[in-house]
Structure 1
């Protein structure tokens, strides 16, 4: 069998040989590894500027730097869960969600379907939240109209892009604007000149016992929310959730890294799915193949690590600005349901009043771009990864039909929620708690089990990584359950 070949065309699946890894990965030089940034940056750009603009700024204004550690925790806990999935698909060429359906105890495919249901339940919540933001943005920017009507228009426009191939030019424009926003955010932090010692103290885990007096006096509705629910909402919103990450893992099929680059990948997957219970991934364990596996594993590590570091830095910058400009020693203004994005314009006004107009354009690009990309592409990958193992129609139909179905669920549900009058915080918090905390914890636990049960010992994650993954699973699942019970006032 040649090094490039991954299997033999027999009924018995032969020991698989990983395609030869490029020298950049074998050497592991930082510059060479930078070539392996791809899906992670797409995922990061989809989340940067949405949850961060509201939740990070709000957290800084309400609590100062005290909760900065939660953003670090979110990046680590979510990052390790996502890496476990991207690493698995790179090494095996198989979706981890397909394997969940085979190895998780219980009825076949119940777990990926559960993750899919949790993700689908979150879709309308985020559509309604993004649209509500854009509705308020439109009235603020253009000076007229009803926010709900504007929100409906933006949802319908995002849905319409499903049928326009030329929309890629708009996406590139939006990405460029968001990247420019990141640059100006860093400039704004330098101009704001925060107390960097206090910033570092914010990295020490601490939960505030109560809200500051000015918050209770000026914003009683904010003070009325349990602090633990507020904190967990930040964890959920920052950096995205399973609704993003499952699609992100699915996008690795386009990169052809590792076993995904095998010329007979479809044949491999067809035979892998027929493995009997208890059988492990049939991979060649020779020294040369082991070297290739370890080299290829650096690609998803680099991609995932850089994307989450980018989200963490951007979130921290908005929290710092929220404290300095909007917090106790600033204007004492909290981003809230009536003024979701207006107060944050002051971050840029301190540099130049003209940048307020740029900020208005940038937040539109961030939120409309997120709504469009999620509703017409990213979430379709999420839907496919979760339901394809169990539902024949999803496996066999044209992928555009899956995109259309998901866009209808996303947009239709979002329209309904917009007209219910539910607040932005309520809409986004629900999606963040279900998809951004609870289901990521379940994913982490399932991935830990799958890694230990299916991969040969020498190709499993390192012990330290497994421990972190287990911690992520327990912490996020537990926090998700508690927060959802608090959300519905059960506890």
Structure 2
């Protein structure tokens, strides 16, 4: 997800419902997903191999793990398209002064689906994207300043970083019964899935990273290297030169993705935490929870409390965040399904090389079509995105970490493998995300209550 979508809704809602007590969920989710994403880009930079191709060689039926990850992403696509477009429709109706209800939210959301996809096809989004980055960056920085200025209790912040699952506050039971019916685990893990995205984003991101020409992709024969890697037998190590100079060169390649991931996830984690603090200190105290058709209205008070009329900053910032996210979905999801099925189909590989417009159209027909069905239903935006967030934003991310551990240990020569600390962080991230995902899936299906 684009920086901004998590802070504008999920983090403030979490603060409104639980105060500072679940700060750990969003902070730790941001940190472990940073480790997770870096692992994928690290492998891609050193070998040029699509990680889904490597996972297709895991022991067992051919390609089972790659197909599992790809299917988890595919199932999640329409939910995020439907949920985010409904959010975008709602905030647009609110900004222009229209009645905010299911019809206006879905109607405007439908228009936004076609507009954002049209920009992808026309390639006319560059200037809008730059403006969106500036606006959302300023909004996030403003929220961080407001959070710091509110002087949150340091003991409360520290206590909130310790993992625990609280109960809903009494006012939630009384004033928001539909929320109180949701299992707390499901609610909290939905936020975790929204922070920093999920496998539906990361599979595509690691595939798209070739466009940045990091590492092996600087070589003119990188396509031949990819073909060589694909032909390796299961368990066969990549034929990388392990002399001192080449190992040094390879590790220098990793600086660019390290900086990219570090800056991105440090920003995501910090600004998300700031938004939750604001939600805890203002909305929670006032008994106001972003929900139903007030997903973004209460947060505007953060700015009007400074000066009347400053809510325009919130309105423009939220619109820019959601609009930018919707635009990014089409390209990101296209790369995700291409990378997922590339190892199994020469036609998919050909689409990646020469048929990206057709691939984007297929993404639009599937994601946009089912997304429209979900958006026009009576389901709330939160209900629509919940299963996608749990499955692809948390559970699938945990599986990713263990898959990356196997890939590095079997494909990379020891000279190119990571440090003990790096692998410990990868295992810890995998355990954290998988456990949270499994518990929330069980709760969501009503199989057991924890």
Q: Which range, TM-score by smaller chain?
A: over 0.9
CA positional deviation for 1:283:
1.0
**1:159 aligned onto 2:125:** no
User: Deviations along 1:264-285, whole A, 9 cap, x unmatched?
Assistant: 1111111221122332011111
Equivalent of 2:226, from 260, 263, 269?
Answer: 269
Determine the structure 2 residue equivalent to 1:223: 180
In structure 1, the partner of 2:8 is 53
Alignment partner of 1:112 is 2:36 = no
Counterpart of 1:357?
Answer: 312
Match of 1:78 in 2: 33
CA contact (8 A) 1:159 1:411 kept: no
Residue 88 of structure 2 corresponds to which residue in structure 1?
Answer: 134
1:368 aligns with 2:323: yes
Question: Match of 1:153, SS?
Answer: helix
Residues 424-448 of structure 1: per-residue CA shift (max 9 Å, x gap): 1111211111110111111111111
Distance 2:293 2:124 in 1: 35
Matched, 1:405 2:405: no
Match of 2:348 in 1: 394
Q: In 1, Cα distance between the equivalents of 2:150 and 2:368?
A: 39
2:49/2:230 contact within 8 Å kept: no
Mapped partners of 2:192, 2:56: distance in 1: 28
RMSD value over aligned CA atoms?
1.6
Alignment of 1:315-330 (within 5 A): 315-328=272-285
Q: Distance in 1 between matches of 2:367 and 2:323?
A: 14
1:224-246 per-position Cα deviation (integer Å, ceiling 9, x unaligned): 22111122112111111111111
Q: Can you list the C-alpha shifts for 1:33-80, whole angstroms capped at 9, x where unaligned?
A: xxxxxxxxxxxxx43221222111011111111111112210222111
Indicate conservation of the 8 Å contact 2:342/2:349, yes or no. yes
Is the 8 Å Cα contact of residues 237 and 429 (structure 1) preserved in structure 2? no
Confirm or deny: 8 A CA contact 1:247 1:379 kept in the other structure: yes
Residue equivalent to 1:89: 44
1:115-264 superposed matches below 5 A: 115-144=69-98, 146-208=104-166, 210-264=167-221
- Verify the 8 A CA contact 1:188 1:351 in the aligned structure 2: no
8 Å CA contact 1:49–1:366 kept in 2: the answer is yes
- Which whole-Å CA distance do the structure 2 matches of 1:76 and 1:187 have between them? 21
Aligned mate of 1:378, from 315, 325, 332: 332
Provide closer, same or farther for how the CA distance between residues 335 and 56 of structure 1 changes in structure 2, counting only shifts above 3 A.
Answer: same
Q: Deviations over 1:265-320 (max 9, x none)?
A: 11111122112233201111111112112222232222112211110001011001
Asked if residue 64 in structure 1 is aligned to residue 22 in structure 2, the reply is no
Per the alignment, in what secondary structure is the counterpart of residue 117 of structure 1?
A: helix
Report the alpha carbon displacement of residue 105 of structure 1 after superposing the two structures with TM: 1.1
Contact 2:141 2:271 in 1 (8 A): no
SS at match of 1:327: helix
Separation in structure 1 between the aligned mates of residue 378 and residue 414 of structure 2, nearest angstrom: 53
CA distance in 2, matches of 1:110, 1:401: 27
Q: Is the 8 A contact 1:131 1:152 kept in 2?
A: yes
Give me the whole-angstrom Cα distance separating, in 2, the residues matched to 1:240 and 1:200. Answer: 25
Partners of 1:76 and 1:134 lie apart in 2 by 27
Indicate if the aligned counterparts of 1:47 and 1:238 stay in contact, CA closer than 8 A.
no
Which stretches of structure 1, 4 residues or longer, exceed 6 Å deviation after superposition? none
**Post-superposition CA distance 1:93-118 (Å, at most 9, x none):** 2121211112x112332322221111
Aligned to 1:20: none
> Aligned partners of 2:410, 2:149: CA distance in 1, in Å?
52
Calculate the TM-score normalised by the size of structure 2: 0.94
The reply to whether residue 481 of structure 1 matches residue 438 of structure 2 is yes
Counterpart of 2:378 in structure 1 is 421
User: Alignment length, in residue pairs?
Assistant: 441
Contact kept in structure 1, 2:288 and 2:298, CA below 8 Å = yes
| 1:423 Cα deviation after fit | 0.9
Bigger radius of gyration among the two: 1
Which of 313, 335, 358 does residue 270 from structure 2 map onto?
A: 313
2:45 and 2:140 map into 1 onto residues whose CA distance is: 30
Match of 2:259 in 1: 302
